[in-house]
């Protein structure tokens, strides 16, 4: 899982929002370096690494490096990845050394698993998912591409989550529930029923808002 060979290369951070600080930390904790970052303008987060310019300024040479998606917003992540004509191998999975990921977990391109996260056996993580700080994904659950499970959220066993879902901070999804694509689970919600495509649910028990 922690593919240290891949991480001997430098990375370019794509985006420079708050999530970029965490992504930089996981890259560096794995022994990788940061060559620079792309963003619409210079970021207040970084005065010690070069600003390359916008994403269009990523030269062919820079595309030989590894890329790390450094924004947390789900739709923006998708559009940044789709806007860069690179292969999946340009986006190595990043697994913080203090995360636990069971051997049998399937990890897609560009997946990010942050410090303190626990991902149990037979989980499938689609391309560019985030399992953020301290989140728990129980056995047999599956996350679609670009889904972001925010810090401290817990998915019970055999939960099925579609593409592009945000599971908010500290939310809980009970076992065997299904979350439709592009849904949003509010911070702190407890999901006891299935959630439909694009629905926004909040509260305990979670209800549409
Ligand atoms: C559910 C959510 C998407 C709603 O966002 P929004 O539409 O911008 O909502 P607003 O902030 O305008 O709040 C609208 C109402 O919903 C309530 N509300 C917002 N989020 C809520 C939540 N998680 N649980 C319960 N009520 C919530 C607000 O108190 C407000 O109520 P009011 O009208 O009585 O004052 C958002 O609040 C949320 O929880 N996002 C997840 C954030 C997160 O965890 N991000 C991950 C960062 S790594």
Q: Which CATH architecture has domain 6-90?
A: 3-Layer(aba) Sandwich (3.40)
Q: What is the pLDDT along the chain (209 residues), one digit of tens a residue?
A: 344 444 456 899 999 989 999 999 999 999 999 999 999 999 999 999 999 998 877 776 666 789 999 999 999 999 999 888 777 778 999 999 999 999 999 999 999 999 999 999 999 999 999 999 999 999 999 999 999 999 999 999 999 999 999 999 999 999 999 999 999 999 999 999 999 999 999 999 999 98
**96 catalytic residue (yes or no):** no
Q: Token pair of 72, please?
A: 């947390």
Query: Is it true that 6-90 and 93-209 share their CATH fold?
Result: no
Domain ranges across the chain: 6-90, 93-209
Give, in order, the Cα–Cα distances in Å from 78 to each of 1, 31, 177. Answer: 23, 27, 25
Residues 153-180 pLDDT 10s: 999 999 999 999 999 999 999 999 999 9
Among 70, 115, 116, 187, the mutation site with the greatest number of ligand 1 atoms within 8 A of its Cβ is 187
Please give the distance, rounded to the nearest whole angstrom, from the Cα atom of residue 11 to the centre of ligand 1.
34
Q: Which class for 164: exposed (0-12), middle (13-18), buried (19 or more C-beta within 10 A)? A: buried
pTM for the full model? Answer: 0.94
CATH number of this structure's domain 93-209: 2.160.10.10
131 lines ligand 1 (CB under 6 A): no
CB 165 within 8 A of CB 141: no
- The 10 Å CB-count burial string (b at 16+, else e) for 118-149 is bbbeebbbbbbbbbbbbbbbbbbbbbbbbbbb
114 lines ligand 1 (CB under 6 A): no
């Amino acid at each position: 899982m922690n593919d240290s060979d891949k991480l001997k290369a430098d990375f370019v951070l794509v985006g420079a929002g708050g999530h970029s600080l965490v992504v930089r930390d996981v890259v560096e904790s794995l022994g990788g370096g940061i060559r620079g970052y792309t963003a619409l303008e210079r970021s207040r987060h970084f005065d010690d690494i070069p600003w390359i310019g916008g994403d269009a300024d990523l030269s062919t040479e820079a595309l030989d490096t590894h890329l790390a998606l450094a924004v947390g917003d789900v739709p923006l992540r998708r559009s940044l990845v789709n806007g860069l004509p690179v292969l999946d191998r340009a986006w190595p999975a990043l697994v913080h050394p203090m995360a636990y990921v069971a051997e049998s977990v399937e990890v897609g391109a560009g997946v990010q698993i942050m410090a303190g996260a626990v991902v149990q056996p037979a989980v499938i993580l689609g391309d560019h998912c985030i399992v953020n700080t301290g989140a728990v994904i129980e056995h047999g659950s599956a996350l679609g591409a670009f889904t972001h499970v925010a810090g401290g959220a817990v998915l019970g066993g055999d939960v099925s989550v579609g593409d592009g879902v945000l599971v908010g901070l500290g939310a809980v999804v009970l076992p065997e529930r299904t979350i439709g694509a592009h849904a949003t689970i509010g911070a702190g919600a407890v999901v006891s029923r299935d959630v439909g495509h694009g629905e926004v649910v909040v509260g305990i028990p979670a209800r549409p808002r």
